[in-house]
């Protein structure tokens, strides 16, 4: 290959890279700009009715499409994080909830976290659409925590905390079952999994402290053994011991 041909290919590659970067920045700024426009009127957006509310609803649907389909993960995360509580009356519609559950299955963990936070807020507004899907997701996460590989166990143990915090009313009847599933993972060879499980038990103690107290005899020996190697688990242990 001649030097001239190589230089020509290099220039084309640089131009293509710059164009892709500009498109990414443009989409990111447009998404943030739309969210700022929607939130500039006040702390809460009225419930969907009338012409202006229809426009807001349509814009939110477009943003959700971006949140589940844009190839850039940071754009997907930015859009979801911009959808604050003031939009919950719009997001609680069935079509928006379906899009959010698509985001829950995103390959990027931070996108999944952001989607679960939103769904947790929407549970009281539309439990018929949110609760069954969250229940299925809880089963999937617990299954992955028990049988998954090292990376999947680590992500599942962290994701479980967000599910518990996002849907406390859903989790409360299942505290004993969740506790039985996570306790063996205090001895997981991956220290990150064990640390996440310590924090998960701390979160469970807030949701169903009475059921956690019944398991004190099982929890404390495993917890003390895990804490020796997991300094980050001390705050969670303090929460459990104080229940």
Which whole number is the average pLDDT over 114-126?
Answer: 89
Distance, in Å, from the CA atom of 240 to the CA atom of 73, rounded to the nearest integer, reads: 36
Determine the pLDDT at residue 120: 86
Assess contact for 57 and 48: CB atoms under 8 A: yes
Assess contact for 226 and 198: CB atoms under 8 A: yes
Tens digits of residue pLDDT in 18-41: 445 444 544 555 555 555 555 554
Distance, in Å, from the CA atom of 70 to the CA atom of 28, rounded to the nearest integer, reads: 10
Q: What is the DSSP letter of 242?
A: T
Q: Which positions ≥6 away from 179 have C-beta within 8 Å?
A: 201, 204, 211, 212, 215, 219
Determine the pLDDT at residue 161: 87
Determine the pLDDT at residue 173: 84
Tens digits of residue pLDDT in 185-232: 888 888 888 888 888 888 888 887 777 777 777 777 777 776 666 544
Q: What's the 3-state SS for 36-49?
A: HHHHCCCCCCCCCC
Q: How confident is the model at residue 115 (pLDDT cuts 50, 70, 90)?
A: very high
Assess contact for 103 and 63: CB atoms under 8 A: no
Distance, in Å, from the CA atom of 149 to the CA atom of 8, rounded to the nearest integer, reads: 46
CA angle, 207 as apex, 219 and 209 as ends, to 5°?
A: 45
Name the architecture of domain 51-122: Alpha Horseshoe (1.25)
Which whole number is the average pLDDT over 105-110?
Answer: 90
Token couple for 147: 């049988």
Residue 93 pLDDT greater than 50, yes or no: yes
Tens digits of residue pLDDT in 156-185: 888 888 888 877 877 888 888 888 888 888
The residue extents of the domains of the chain are 51-122, 131-243
Q: What is the largest CA-CA distance in the chain?
A: 77
Distance, in Å, from the CA atom of 3 to the CA atom of 141, rounded to the nearest integer, reads: 55
Residue 70 pLDDT greater than 80, yes or no: yes
Determine the pLDDT at residue 9: 40
Token couple for 139: 């089963």
CA angle, 126 as apex, 120 and 132 as ends, to 5°?
A: 75
Which whole number is the average pLDDT over 229-238?
Answer: 49
């Amino acid at each position: 290959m001649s030097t001239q041909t190589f230089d020509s290919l290099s220039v084309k590659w640089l131009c293509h890279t710059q164009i892709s970067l500009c498109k990414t920045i443009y989409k990111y700024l447009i998404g943030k700009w739309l969210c700022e426009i929607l939130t500039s009127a006040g702390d809460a957006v009225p419930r969907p009715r009338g012409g202006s509310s229809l426009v807001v609803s349509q814009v939110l649907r477009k943003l959700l499409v971006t949140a589940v389909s844009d190839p850039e993960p940071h754009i997907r995360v930015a859009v979801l994080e911009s959808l604050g509580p003031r939009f919950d009356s719009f997001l609680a519609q069935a079509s928006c909830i379906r899009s959010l559950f698509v985001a829950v299955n995103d390959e990027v963990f931070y996108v999944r976290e952001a989607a679960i936070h939103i769904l947790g807020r929407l549970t009281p507004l539309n439990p018929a659409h949110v609760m069954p899907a969250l229940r299925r997701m809880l089963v999937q996460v617990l299954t992955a925590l028990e049988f998954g590989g090292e990376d999947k166990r680590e992500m599942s143990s962290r994701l479980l905390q967000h599910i518990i915090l996002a849907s406390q009313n859903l989790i409360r009847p299942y505290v004993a079952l969740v506790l039985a599933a996570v306790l063996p993972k205090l001895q997981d060879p991956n220290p990150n999994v064990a640390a996440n499980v310590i924090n998960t038990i701390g979160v469970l103690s807030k949701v169903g402290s009475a059921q956690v107290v019944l398991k004190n005899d099982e929890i404390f020996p495993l917890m003390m053994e895990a804490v020796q190697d997991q300094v980050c688990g001390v705050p969670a242990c303090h929460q459990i011991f104080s229940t």
